[in-house]
Amino acid sequence: MPRSKSKTTAAEEVLRLQEEMRKKDEQIAGLLLKEKRAAEKQKSVHKIPRPSGQAGRASGYNLREEMGLAEDGERYNRIFRIVKDNTHQFLAVKDTISKQNKVQVEAALSQIAKTAPYFARFEGYWPARDMITTYLLNMQTRRNKDLRMEREADLNDHNAKTPSRKSKLTADDGSTDESDVPTRKHVVKRPTKRRVDLCIHSEDENADDEPPVKPHKKKRKTYAAMDSDNITDYEPPAKARAAMNSDEENFEPAPTTGNNKRSGRAPAGVPAAKKIKLNLTPKTVLKNEPELRWNDLPYTCIRCPEILPVDPNARILSMFVQREKLLGEVGSAGPGVALLELQICAAITEEKDRQRHQKLGEKNGWPQTIDFGALGDRVYDLREQLADMLLDPNVLQESAAWKNFVKSIDYNLFYFCRSRSKAEFIYAVYASRCGYYGPKGAEIIKSMLMEMFMNNIDNVENTLFATLNELVILNEDSFDRYDETSNLLDIEDFTSFVLLPFMASHLIAQDKSVKFEDAVDICDESSTFGEIFHALTSNGKDIPVGEEEPQKLKAEKKSQVTLLSFEAVAHDKLPSPKTKPKKSPAEEQPNSKSKKAGGVISLNDFEEPGEKTKKDKKPKPPVKPKPKENKIVAPRPKPNPIKSSYGTRSKTRN
């Protein structure tokens, strides 16, 4: 029997295990099917993209209408309150969104999407980001307004507490009620004030060794008419002079004797003069000001929890000294204290950013010292790459500098060209930075490029116009619509927003010996580092370049510098503004190996991208786009009225 029972138990165990495996397989199959359906559903969901422009602007869009809540104001306000709560939880409301930590911003957006699933239908939660941007900007505006109004209120309170002398005299003269004092028998003339010289002794001196020097005073008789019980010894406070070489801080007036001066004006019960506490120079003192100790500096910022730098710079120290003086004069609620504390907070944040980027630069090998004197020659050596950008629209279109530029302006090229203030395009300004060369390097690169272009600025502008015009025709659907009043980029804007990052990336590739694509990434990552360590001076013009200035850049080598000249090339479809005699086809054929007289190199000396063929083969003619009916082409640049003779007295006189 036990043997048969054992066999039955084993068979039941096998059946039980098989049943469990079957159930597990069913669960796995169900989970796989559920996951597959969720993936298919996610693929089928089309998220709403962000419209072009900015929310609330005339040329932008209405956020409430784009969210589909134009008729449901209650839900829109409820969602906005949720965004505000999460903004206070994750972000610092005293700064705008551009100054916030990107990680904290993404964390806030994720939490907002979990709290309000309505944002999941939008690509990248862009309505929540717009709400955060608007709210932080409004909070900063209100905060600045409140601080300004509070300073004005404090100033009014301070003026109200200290009325003018004229108002005091007017109040005294207007009083007509008088009462007799019963204790006064007759009017006594008050004695005039007299100067009393006191001898001040420090605590180190031994009073038993030498008696104190008594001040010389003149005796005067006591008036019998005054009540002698109300007269007490009145000791005026001594004005101690601080000895800068002394190490002591506490001073007290000399001990008085019975023959000291008595005053009939001194009221009864006047306390004895207290010790005068002076803050003198201790051993551990700041070098720039003798009034502030290191121990007086706070551990964190006065306005925010930012920790004070270990080695603060002279600017922060001087601002703390100024704050101590201001607190002693007007108090903590006085005018100017709040503004100075905000300036200290900004200076501490700036110094912490500088130290953080300094460590980042040392880690990545970004140079803090650059030979800006040789930067102009290096830019001139890159004239072949510059010629390709200006001549070939295909090279320009495929360049990283052009792609970043058109993305930063949302492909609104003609709107950008019509705008008078290019500084409003913040992302375009960020995309035009020159990496760790900073604003100082950007100024030198731009000045060198404009110096090269000025040799023949008319042909440069015509060549650039022809290249951009062909690029726009080939990519008509990519850009915004234009009309007869639209223009293309001029040479200065093209240099500032396209050529500057292009040349800086080539220079970084030479410095680091890396590929051009990697140099573009380095240029983007090190831009903030360059703005901190290679910034312009306060006036923006007097920039030291080694021992020279940009206006005197390579002045001694002026005769040796060859400038870039844009003559009539095969790629340029526009005629030259200067009339020249016609030449034969043999003479019009450019010679890529010849140099002109005077040492000036033209673009004909460089091989164009389409002419890199063997000598025995004829070069192919440039490809022209097919003409379309009613085609609107971008207008040509208008002639310079300064060079025109129209309106002069010699031409208009009959």
Q: How confident is the model at residue 41 (pLDDT cuts 50, 70, 90)?
A: low
What strands, in cross-sheet order, belong to the sheet with 250-252? 201-202, 250-252, 276-277
Q: pLDDT at position 488, please?
A: 85
pLDDT digits (tens, 9 = 90+) for 9-18: 788 888 888 8
* pLDDT higher than threshold 90 for residue 508: yes
Q: How confident is the model at residue 238 (pLDDT cuts 50, 70, 90)?
A: low
Q: pLDDT at position 64, please?
A: 86
Q: What is the mean pLDDT of residues 79-94?
A: 89
Q: How confident is the model at residue 615 (pLDDT cuts 50, 70, 90)?
A: very low
CA distance 159 to 479: 61
pLDDT digits (tens, 9 = 90+) for 429-484: 989 999 999 999 999 999 999 988 887 888 888 888 889 888 888 887 888 877 66
Query: How many alpha carbons fall within 13 Å on the CB side of residue 188?
Result: 15
Instruction: Identify the top-confidence range among 99-108, 182-191, 496-505.
Output: 496-505
CA distance 325 to 382: 56
Q: pLDDT at position 536, please?
A: 81
For CA atoms 329, 333, 339, 340, give the dihedral sign.
positive
* pLDDT higher than threshold 60 for residue 183: no
* pLDDT higher than threshold 90 for residue 327: no
* pLDDT higher than threshold 80 for residue 214: no
What would the two tokens of residue 348 be?
Answer: 């501490």
Q: How confident is the model at residue 601 (pLDDT cuts 50, 70, 90)?
A: very low
CA distance 348 to 180: 64
Question: Would strands 276-277 and 250-252 be described as parallel, antiparallel, or unpaired?
Answer: antiparallel
**How many CB atoms sit inside 10 A of residue 24's CB?**
10
Q: pLDDT at position 498, please?
A: 93
Q: pLDDT at position 606, please?
A: 39
Q: pLDDT at position 285, please?
A: 41
Q: How far is CA 204 from the centre of its chain?
A: 54
CA distance 266 to 346: 51
Question: Would strands 201-202 and 250-252 be described as parallel, antiparallel, or unpaired?
Answer: antiparallel
The answer to which of 16-20, 189-193, 395-399, 500-504 has the lowest mean pLDDT is 189-193
Kindly report the average pLDDT of the chain as a whole number. 70
What single string gives the DSSP state of each residue in 472-509?
A: HHHTGGGS----TT-----HHHHIIIIIHHHHHHHHHH
Q: pLDDT at position 310, please?
A: 79
Task: Give percent of the chain with pLDDT exceeding 70.
Answer: 59
* pLDDT higher than threshold 70 for residue 182: no
Q: pLDDT at position 65, please?
A: 87
This prediction has a pTM of 0.42
